[in-house]
């Protein structure tokens, strides 16, 4: 799969202007380098990723004036009884994000991927919690992820994650750039409600998913080590 196929298609149709297309294409190797870095630091293959040619906005269902920018998402796909996890990376992130920011977000989504696969291995995906509040979502997001220092053996990458995700991702300079150079130019936007950004797979489909035993064993090791660190924080 060409990760840029949707982005290139949007450009060919005139939806993405030449200057934005050229900038994102020029900076895309930063994304590839980040994926390679994460694989080396974790010893686990990164899932399939693709570039989404739009700005993804998530609004709170309880307050229409509250919204956040989703620079990347981890999406489970079930097609013709075949299961696949895909990382959606927004084009604005690639065009305007700093190297450290891009790598931190890619690593954060990788942690989501691991958490998703852990839940699938234990059949825990039948009733994932729902929340229509941005703050509640950030809290839930941080408490269910694997501990980064357990997963990644890369000090610089860990520093990027720690700085960018102390309590949910915020990068005001990046957000300002994206609003000025993307949103204000009326480039493509995708709006999703927070309470729809959840994972729901039927038990029958889950039971058909076959995971590599070695990968499951690796997940169990990471979960155990992460759990020990979380317990130390509580006490």
Checking 140-143 for CB contacts under 8 A at 24+ apart, the result is 141/168, 142/167, 142/168
Instruction: Give the separation between CA 6 and CA 21, rounded to whole angstroms.
Output: 12
* 231 inside domain: no
Question: 234 lies in a domain?
Answer: no
**3-state secondary structure at position 125:** coil
**Rounded CA gap, 224 and 222, in Å?**
5
Whether 31 is covered by a domain: the verdict is yes
232 lies in some domain: no
Radius of gyration of the chain (CA): 18
Give the per-residue pLDDT at 161: 86
Q: How many domains does the chain have?
A: 1
Task: Please report the pLDDT score of residue 128 as a whole number.
Answer: 46
Asked whether residue 159 is assigned to any structural domain, the reply reads yes
Domain that holds residue 168: 5-226
User: Given this model, what pLDDT does residue 130 score?
Assistant: 39
pLDDT of residue 211: 85
- What is the structure's pLDDT at 124? 67
pLDDT score, position 197: 53
In a domain, 93, yes or no: yes
Query: Residues of the chain whose pLDDT is less than 50?
Result: 62, 126-140, 235
Quote the pTM value: 0.86
């Amino acid at each position: 799969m060409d990760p840029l196929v949707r982005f290139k298609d949007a450009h060919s149709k005139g939806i993405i202007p030449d200057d934005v297309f050229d900038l994102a294409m020029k900076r895309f190797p930063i994304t590839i380098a980040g994926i390679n870095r994460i694989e080396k630091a974790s010893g686990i293959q990164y899932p399939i990723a693709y570039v989404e040619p739009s700005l993804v906005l998530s609004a709170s269902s309880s307050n229409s004036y509250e919204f956040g920018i989703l620079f990347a998402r981890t999406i489970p796909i079930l097609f013709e009884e075949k299961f696949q996890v895909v990382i959606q990376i927004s084009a604005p992130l690639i065009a305007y994000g700093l190297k450290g920011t891009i790598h931190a977000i890619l690593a954060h989504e990788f942690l989501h991927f691991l958490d998703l696969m852990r839940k699938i291995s234990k059949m825990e995906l039948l009733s994932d919690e729902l929340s229509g509040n941005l703050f509640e979502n950030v809290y839930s997001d941080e408490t269910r992820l694997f501990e980064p220092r357990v997963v990644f053996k890369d000090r610089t990458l860990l520093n990027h994650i720690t700085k960018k995700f102390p309590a949910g991702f915020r990068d005001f300079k990046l957000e300002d750039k994206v609003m000025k150079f993307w949103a204000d130019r009326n480039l493509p936007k995708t709006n999703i409600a927070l309470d729809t950004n959840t994972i729901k797979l039927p038990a029958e489909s889950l039971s058909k998913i076959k995971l590599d035993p070695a990968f499951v064993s690796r997940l169990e090791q990471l979960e155990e080590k992460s759990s020990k660190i979380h317990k130390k924080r509580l006490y």
